[in-house]
Amino acid sequence: MKKLDIVLENETGLHARPASMLVQVAKDFDCDIKIELNEQTYVAKSMMSILSMGATKGSELSFVIDGSDELKAYNELKELFDSNFGEN
């Protein structure tokens, strides 16, 4: 199991476009990817779940990644957030 802690830097939070990018990346992996925010757990492979988080700039997200390809998923998710969803 890998854990990735992220502070959301995207100005508009996880609105539809970055949420869609996140779901697309998560769906590429067989491992289970959950997101924890404010003591709630969300499914990273579900657009509805991601949008229901209401994550805004400054939100502290914890990704819990568990499965055979967890390291690869960890690296790609980190890269997605480090690139600020291409909005830099």
Domain containing residue 19: CATH number:
3.30.1340.10
Domain of 54 in residue numbering reads as 2-86
pLDDT tens column, 35-68? 999 999 999 999 999 999 999 999 999 999 999 9
| pLDDT at position 86 | 81
Look up 31 and say whether it is catalytic. no
| Whole-structure pTM value | 0.93
pLDDT tens column, 6-31? 999 988 899 999 999 999 999 999 99
Contact 65/33 with Cβ under 8 angstroms?
A: yes
Q: Residue 17 is encoded by which pair of tokens?
A: 């476009």
**The tokens 């949420």 sit on which residue?**
19
| pLDDT at position 29 | 98
Taking phi over 0 as left and psi of -120 to 50 as alpha, with beta for the rest, 85 belongs to: left
Number of domains in the chain: 1
- Say which of 2, 15, 45, 72 is annotated catalytic: 15
